[in-house]
Amino acid sequence: MLKQVWPEIRSQADQVRSGASLREVARVVSQRLITPHFQPIFTLMPGEVHGYEALSRIVGPTVFGSIEELFCAARSGGRLSALEQLCRERALTTAAQLGVTERLFLNVCPAVLADDHRPGVTAKLLGELGIERSRVVLELTERSLITDYDLFGRVVDHYRRQGYAIAIDDLGDGFAGLKMLAQIEPDYVKLARFLVADIDRAPVRQALVESIVTFCQRVGIEVIAEGIERQEELDYLTAIGIGLGQGYLLGRPSPQLVEVLPQQLHEQGVPLQGQLAW
């Protein structure tokens, strides 16, 4: 008897959790319970800030264990556009208050990007804040599948004509990223943490990353290695010619701007086999 009833009980429990999640998404959006943290992206030589990625965090207690869970619930409940718009507004407003003059990387879902280009919400906000569009990089994430690449290509071209730069996030973490790379020819690609982790001792991933770097250099795309957490990873990535890096080793996400590299990296100073000479 329990085996017959259990699926129904589980289904009811899932519905309760889903309803609670949707109510929490509505609460976060309506009460604007999002705050941005900024993680620096450094030029690996000579170690200067190239820009900041704006990462959203939930303010106060929540049923969600992470910001990713919030976005998943928002997508399921049809509130993804409203949530992304809030995150973008909070990031831009705070960046203006902090006086960010470097490039600002904003995470954008491709489907939301297509919705936003008609009313020009981002352009209007940038004008109000006095931020030049040329400083904004729209970082395309794979939170939802792209179903019409021709339409998406036209949307990206629209933003390029408006002066924005385009980046592909987490390249190497799925087929869609490679297809996006071929279709839209971005200004930046960000190597997924999957490729960067322990790359100094992973020959297969070394070959893959080196081929991506060679391709990007040939067509004029800048490569950002994200998720750098070890000195050995940094040394290897610098040695193969990657110019930009991001990760806990270089600087953690923070409500305030991280403007210099950690002191221990400055003190390395030994240019052996491509290591950094700070």
What was the pLDDT predicted at 222? 96
Is the Cα dihedral 25, 137, 140, 54 positive or negative?
Answer: negative
* Reported confidence tier of residue 182, pLDDT bands at 50, 70, 90: confident
Asked if residue 265 lies in contact with residue 250, where contact means CB atoms within 8 angstroms, the answer is yes
Phi first, then psi, for residue 31 (nearest 5°) are -95, 0
> CA-to-CA distance for 111 and 151, rounded, in angstroms?
10
Q: Classify 170 in phi/psi space as left (phi over 0), alpha (psi -120 to 50) or beta.
A: left
**26 vs 7, more confident:** 26
* Reported confidence tier of residue 111, pLDDT bands at 50, 70, 90: confident
What percent of the chain is helix, strand and coil (3-state, nearest 5)?
A: 50, 20, 35
> CA-to-CA distance for 31 and 119, rounded, in angstroms?
23
* Reported confidence tier of residue 187, pLDDT bands at 50, 70, 90: very high
User: What DSSP string describes 83-115?
Assistant: HHHHHHHHHHHHHHHHT--SEEEEEE-HHHHHH
pLDDT in tens, 199-245: 999 999 999 999 999 999 999 999 999 999 999 999 999 999 999 99
- The CATH number of domain 33-259 is 3.20.20.450: yes
Report whether pLDDT(48) > 80: yes
What was the pLDDT predicted at 233? 97
Angle at 156 between CA 153 and CA 162, to 5 degrees: 145
Average pLDDT over residues 106-122: 76
Asked if residue 213 lies in contact with residue 223, where contact means CB atoms within 8 angstroms, the answer is yes
What are the residue boundaries of the structural domains of the chain, listed by start? 33-259
Number of residues assigned to the chain: 278
What was the pLDDT predicted at 208? 92
Amino acid identity for residue 34 in this structure: I
Asked if residue 251 lies in contact with residue 229, where contact means CB atoms within 8 angstroms, the answer is no
Per the DSSP assignment, residues forming a β-bridge with 36 are 56
> CA-to-CA distance for 145 and 141, rounded, in angstroms?
10
